[in-house]
Amino acid sequence: MPIITLQLPTVKRKNKSRPQKCRYCHGETFQRWGKVGKPTRDLRVRKIQVYRYRCCSCRRTFRHYPLGVDRADQTQRLRKLAAIYWVLGMSLRSVAIALRPFNVKISHMTVWRDLQEQARLHEKRLYWKKVRVLGVDGAYPLIKGKKPSVLVAVDLGDGKPIAIGKVDESNPHAVRRWLEPLVKRLGVSVIVTDDLASYRTVAEKLGLEHQVCQFHVRRWVGRHLRELRETVPEEWDWVLDEIRDLLAELPIEGSKRLFELWKQIPERRVGQVGARSPLEKLRNLLIRLSEHWDSYRVFDWQKDVPWTNNRTEQAIGRMKMRSRTVRGYKSWPGMHTALLLSGSGVDW
């Protein structure tokens, strides 16, 4: 397990420096205008001193807070710590309880607000991130007794989620509407997804390299091969073996070879009706694999592209775990940012 350091904001009791600029008019000279004691909620600091200043230009007064403190009762350190406890798996109520031994009394709704604040800050930082390889996958988290269809985008450079949207992954228009601005902003050049046709369409429309998760491909091709093994005439068994071997090795010439195999299987006779025969199913499989072959092996020539979408699924797993404990709480906007944060781990 990697070593994780919790980066918590520092909290100072006093601010020794004077303000640099007036927050109202950007004036640069001030008069000290008294001081006040302010009680704070924090693990260690119970009270701080705040100096008030008056701007010599606009004559307005303002408080000049020490590091780690602002208008809120809770210090920045406590707010972040509450959110980290939640991300680590505690419920909102448990976080409130866990802080009591430190003489910190906050309600579970305060914890929820702290979480929202951290999530918003996190989202702002994500906005400016650059991502070359993006994993995209659908998820169905349980929210208020419902399971909305959700798309999750993960930076495959560090395995952290970048965005979550309520999007139906089987609808190419919806997927594109959601993905296009994201891809442009992040500077994405490769997406990694499962084998859904909608992703294929969108990757093509947006001019992205597309790696299809090989776990998914092996799963569905394996299923087809088992079925065909039972149904196609035995004389064609060698074709099934060859498909299996090609998928295991993913050679560069695989597409050509599959196409040759496709040509060798007899076509359905004209005028024949009824369900597709096993041999036709085999033909369909061959041509489909041949046409999609390039999207199976992008990882082979682009070293930072993974051959599965595993890390995206792991991030989704972390979010699903969290979504269960906030059920009944809030609406989608709140939920969405909290999920984004929980998928990221604690080092934000």
- Distance of closest approach, residue 51 Cβ to Zn ion, in angstroms: 16
CA distance 49 to 34: 11
Query: Nearest approach, Cβ of 72 to Zn ion (angstroms)?
Result: 23
The end-to-end CA distance of the chain, in Å, is: 17
Residues 195, 282 contacting (CB under 8 angstroms):
no
**Choice between 6 and 56, CB closer to Zn ion:** 56
By the rule CB under 5 A, 58 interacts with Zn ion? yes
Rounded to the nearest whole angstrom, what is the least distance from the CB of residue 29 to Zn ion in the complex? 9
Alpha carbon separation from 213 to 57, 296, 343 (Å, rounded): 62, 7, 20
In the bound complex, what is the minimum distance in angstroms from residue 196's beta carbon to Zn ion? 57
Minimal distance, residue 26 CB to Zn ion, in Å: 7
- CB nearer Zn ion, residue 7 or residue 31: 31
Enumerate residues 11-40 that contact Zn ion by CB under 5 A: 22, 24-25, 27
Which residue carries 């597309």 as its tokens? Answer: 210
Structure letter (DSSP) for residue 171: -
Shorter beta-carbon distance to Zn ion: residue 55 or 203? 55
CB of 61 to Zn ion, least distance (A): 9
Total residues contacting Zn ion (rule CB under 5 A)?
7
Q: Which CB atom, from 54 or from 292, has the smaller least distance to Zn ion? A: 54
Q: Which stretch binds Zn ion (CB under 5 A): 7-15, 48-56, 106-114, 198-206?
A: 48-56
Each as own residue / partner, the long-range contacts of residues 332-337 (CB below 8 Å, 24 or more positions apart, any chain) are: 332/143, 332/148, 332/166, 334/112, 334/116, 335/143, 336/164, 336/166, 337/116, 337/119, 337/120, 337/122, 337/123
Distance of CA 51 to the CA centre of its chain: 42
Among 45, 48, 55, 84, binds Zn ion (CB under 5 A): 55
Q: Name the residue nearer to Zn ion (CB basis): 65 or 85.
A: 65
Among 7, 10, 31, 57, binds Zn ion (CB under 5 A): 57
Site for Zn ion contains 248 (CB under 5 A)? no
Beta strands, E only, the chain: 30-39, 47-55, 61-64, 133-139, 150-155, 160-165, 190-193, 209-212
Q: Which is nearer to Zn ion, 54 or 257 (CB)?
A: 54
- For 274, phi and psi rounded to 5 degrees? 100, -170
Residues in contact with Zn ion by CB under 5 A are 22, 24-25, 27, 55, 57-58
